[in-house]
Amino acid sequence: MFKENFKNFSKLRWSLIFIFLMVNVLLIFTYKNSNLLALDSFLVTALLFILSVFHGKERYGGKNIAIFFLITWAVSFFFENLSIATGFPFGFYHYSPSLGLLTVPLIIIFAYFAIGYLAWMLAHVLTGQYTRKLQGKQVFIVPFIAAFLMVMWDLTVDPISSTLQGLWVWTTPGAYFGVPISNFFGWFLVVYLFFQIFALYLSKYDSLKPEKLSKLSNKPYWMEAVAIYGITALGTILSVFYQYNEITISMALITVFTMIFVALLALVNIMNKKELS
């Protein structure tokens, strides 16, 4: 019964991954219409969130994935508001009213969780920590690597989202296509903090039943996270169809040699493993 449910749920996730791919491709046709762009951006974030929850529930269970969401929400929400008020750690900025009336729009919090989860899972792949409980030095290594993988995403989307689309506005534009350099160091600090808190929690409370452990050792399950991360990167590359300029071209190039490279490396690691454990 468990095997059949796992197989059916896997098919559902792969179907959603295909839909996620199609929505990212459709962004090409919505960039010039602000209303359609807002709707498509919402769909991208919603699908990312749903896929992350579905995938994470298989590995960690509903309770633990909910705790991960609460940790990401608490840490990111605190530092987002702190930076808007004081400039630390990202810099001074404010969000566009198009994202909502709140100082920190809810969609931002869901994006933190979704991209954070993908970076978290890819960090497990790159360190060979597939179904193992985090212990010893891995409790600190996995969060450290995951933070880099998540900052890669912000490195490629921030200039497009802020400088070109104006979804958030930097009070004092910086050297990286209008984005302050402090933003990326701030991102690394914030995401590392919630990854590290979750790692410490899992080092005590993570557990897998034997029958579930065997199912999570299959390669397609881990390829799902790689595929979603890779499609997210593709969405940034396709931004050249939004505006063909030095920002979109540069972001596409950087994406290829960061996020796409990581996705390919993770895929090779999975394929080369005889057994995932």
pLDDT for 133-143, tens place per residue?
Answer: 899 999 999 99
Question: Tokens for 253?
Answer: 């190039």
Partners of residue 52 on adjacent β-strands: none
Partners of residue 178 on adjacent β-strands: 174
- Among the listed residues 224, 222, 6, the one whose alpha carbon sits nearest the alpha carbon of residue 127: 222
Question: Tokens for 212?
Answer: 């579930």
The tens digit of pLDDT for each residue in 19-37 reads 999 988 887 777 666 667 6
Q: Does the CA dihedral 168-198-119-90 come out positive or negative?
A: positive
Q: What is the largest CA-CA distance in the chain?
A: 58
* Entry pTM: 0.94
Residues composing the chain: 277
In a 13 Å sphere around the CA of 45, the CA atoms on its Cβ side amount to: 16
What proportion of the chain, given as a percentage, has pLDDT over 90?
74
In a 13 Å sphere around the CA of 143, the CA atoms on its Cβ side amount to: 24
Arithmetic mean of pLDDT over the chain: 91
Q: What pLDDT is stored for residue 25 in this prediction?
A: 87
Query: Following CA atoms 47, 48, 54, 57 in sequence, which dihedral angle do they give, to the nearest 10 degrees?
Result: -150
Contacts of 158 (CB under 8 A, 6+ apart): 176, 179, 183
Residue 40's pLDDT band (cuts 50, 70, 90)? confident
Q: Is 48 helix (H, G, I), strand (E, B) or coil?
A: helix
Question: Tokens for 89?
Answer: 């750690």
Backbone torsions φ then ψ of 176, nearest 5 degrees = -95, 80
Q: Is 170 helix (H, G, I), strand (E, B) or coil?
A: strand
Lowest average pLDDT, out of 141-155, 174-188, 205-219, 224-238, goes to 205-219
Q: What pLDDT is stored for residue 210 in this prediction?
A: 66
In the 8-state DSSP scheme, what is residue 271? H
